Amino acid sequence: MYLTQDEQKMLDGEQGEVAQRLFRLLVRLGEIYGAEKMIPVGSVQVAGVSYKSIGDPGLEFLEDFASKGAKVQVLTYLNPAGMDMENWKEIGFPEEFAKNQIRIMEAFRKMGIVVTATCTPYLAGNLPRFGEHIAWSESSAVSFSNSVIGARTNREGGPSALAAAICGVTPNYGLHLDENRKPDIVIDIDTALENNVDFGALGYHVGKQVKNKIPYFKGIKNANTDQLKALGAAMAASGAVALYHAEGLTPEARDYDVSGLEKINVGADELKATFDKLNTGETLDIAILGCPHASLREIVSLAEKIAGKSLKKPIWICTSRVMKEAANRMGFTETIENAGGRVVADTCMVVSPIEDMGFKITGVNSGKAANYLPGFCNQNVIFQSVDELVERCL
Ligand code: F3S
């Protein structure tokens, strides 16, 4: 693998022990995947932030790096943490868990990482441009940036993303290369997709079918960015789709002639079967929206639905700190909290310890959350639209 003089120096340890160890990891990755060189990255998003996911070994590893003076070279954001970093006590996150989560965030802060924890960094101040090389790790963020924005990233692991942040480069392979971004299979949609939950159901179904292929959607009449993020998140969770194209909706779709490709049809029957499969609960304990983290548009929509009402079951909407600040200033947080709901920042239903907070059946409108909640959080799931979930909580 070709290395520049500066990269060779990093490998020789001239930029310190941490950079040397992490650069070695990048070189090894590049060799495994046949990369010819490193490429500079415009930004990084690091996963493996919640204490629930990384535990004491991860915490010690990060504190060790921070104490040795490791610093990131590019704009670096974090994936959701295990709790709301400001309101954890009043929401009821366990004290011991909170102490460890705060230590993790402090280690990241010392490394120069922006300690705003979100799976939608593109809505919170880390927006790559079309064609830009980045190294992101959260699967829905990877899907959105590759597919909807047209930036270029592989699905990085936590360590390889941190390595890209500290070293400023990533090996040039996989989805960084034109030849690996071509669609493999056409998905022909012949049913109406009414709201975000339908896009989640579609994504869950297609991810199961195509696994790690690159699907090309035809027949999606219209979709806003919230719906495209729901679609990509679910496909990345039920399969391993890191890039999709959608005719008329995503920027690289127009580059391809897909007439000779294998085709799968998806209609109302497939979507109904998906809803039947994902619904495993009867009476919910809580509804949690915002997977991936809610946009301001989704927060406003919830506020309008529950304004002046009184919830019997709680509704949380998970989002980034940036979106929550905007919601606070506009009065949407107050409207939601007056009804008995919560705008929860920095975390989500999957990476926070909801199973230790007394919840057993969770309502969601996200195909990704419906996929993970049973295994990660021991939950039964009600998978419905926001309107239906609100109705159940009143
Ligand atoms: Fe984000 Fe958590 Fe969903 S990280 S995509 S809200 S599972």
Query: Is the CB of residue 155 below 6 angstroms from any atom belonging to ligand 1?
Result: no
Give the confidence band of 142 by pLDDT, cuts at 50, 70, 90. Answer: very high
Q: For residues 14 and 8, give the distance between their C-alpha atoms in angstroms, rounded to a whole number.
A: 9
Predicted confidence at residue 20, as pLDDT, reads 98
Residue 212's contacts (CB-CB under 8 Å, 6 or more residues apart) are: 239, 240, 241, 242
* Structural domains for the chain: 5-178 (3.30.499.10), 182-276 (no CATH), 279-393 (3.30.499.10)
Decide if 48 contacts 58 (C-beta within 8 A): yes
Q: For residues 79 and 52, give the distance between their C-alpha atoms in angstroms, rounded to a whole number.
A: 13
Residue 262 alpha carbon to ligand 1 centre in Å: 31
State the DSSP code for 356.
G
Query: Is the CB of residue 120 below 6 angstroms from any atom belonging to ligand 1?
Result: no
Q: What percent of the chain is predicted at pLDDT more than 70? A: 100
Beta-sheet strand order (sheet of 245-246): 245-246, 215-218, 185-189, 262-266
Mean pLDDT of 123-151: 98
Q: Give the three-state DSSP class for 264.
A: strand
Residue 291 alpha carbon to ligand 1 centre in Å: 5
Q: For residues 198 and 228, give the distance between their C-alpha atoms in angstroms, rounded to a whole number.
A: 11
Beta-sheet strand order (sheet of 75-78): 75-78, 43-46, 135-136
Q: What are phi and psi of 354, to 5 degrees?
A: -65, -25
State the DSSP code for 128.
P
- What is the distance between the terminal CA atoms of the chain, rounded to a whole angstrom? 61
Extended strands (E) in the chain: 38-40, 43-46, 75-78, 135-136, 169-171, 185-189, 215-218, 245-246, 262-266, 286-294, 315-319, 342-345, 361-364, 380-383
Residue identifier of the C-alpha nearest atom 1 of ligand 1: 292
Mean pLDDT of 104-123: 98
Query: Is the CB of residue 291 below 6 angstroms from any atom belonging to ligand 1?
Result: yes
Predicted confidence at residue 118, as pLDDT, reads 98
What is the dihedral sign for C-alpha 6, 9, 11, 13? negative
What long-range pairs does 268-271 form, CB within 8 A, spacing at least 24?
A: 268/191, 270/205, 271/191, 271/198, 271/201, 271/202, 271/205
Predicted confidence at residue 351, as pLDDT, reads 94
Predicted confidence at residue 80, as pLDDT, reads 97
Give the confidence band of 220 by pLDDT, cuts at 50, 70, 90. Answer: very high
Query: Is the CB of residue 52 below 6 angstroms from any atom belonging to ligand 1?
Result: no
Which residue is listed with tokens 């495994």?
Answer: 32
Residue 67 CB neighbour total at 10 angstroms: 11
Query: Is the CB of residue 140 below 6 angstroms from any atom belonging to ligand 1?
Result: yes
The C-alpha torsion from 131 through 135 and 138 to 140, rounded to 10°, is 10
Which residue is listed with tokens 């493996």?
Answer: 48
- CA 201 → CA 131, 274, 324, distances in Å? 29, 6, 27
**Interior angle at CA 302, CA 300 and CA 272, nearest 5:** 125
Mean pLDDT of 305-312: 98
Residue 350 alpha carbon to ligand 1 centre in Å: 7
Predicted confidence at residue 105, as pLDDT, reads 98
Query: Is the CB of residue 236 below 6 angstroms from any atom belonging to ligand 1?
Result: no
Residue 279 CB neighbour total at 10 angstroms: 15
- CA 256 → CA 175, 178, 223, 246, distances in Å? 16, 12, 20, 11
pTM of the predicted model as reported, rounded to 2 decimal places? 0.97
Per residue in 186-219, pLDDT (tens digit) is 999 999 999 999 999 999 999 999 999 999 999 9
What is the dihedral sign for C-alpha 61, 66, 67, 73? positive
Predicted confidence at residue 375, as pLDDT, reads 96
Q: What are phi and psi of 90, to 5 degrees?
A: -70, -25
Residue 57 CB neighbour total at 10 angstroms: 8
Residue identifier of the C-alpha nearest atom 5 of ligand 1: 292
- 104: tokens are 């993790």
Predicted confidence at residue 238, as pLDDT, reads 98
Predicted confidence at residue 120, as pLDDT, reads 98
Residue 260 alpha carbon to ligand 1 centre in Å: 35
Residue 319 alpha carbon to ligand 1 centre in Å: 9
For a mutational test of ligand 1's pocket, the pick from 238, 241, 291, i.e. the residue with the most ligand atoms closer than 8 A to its C-beta, is 291
Query: Is the CB of residue 80 below 6 angstroms from any atom belonging to ligand 1?
Result: yes
Query: Is the CB of residue 233 below 6 angstroms from any atom belonging to ligand 1?
Result: yes
Give the confidence band of 271 by pLDDT, cuts at 50, 70, 90. Answer: very high
Decide if 80 contacts 293 (C-beta within 8 A): yes
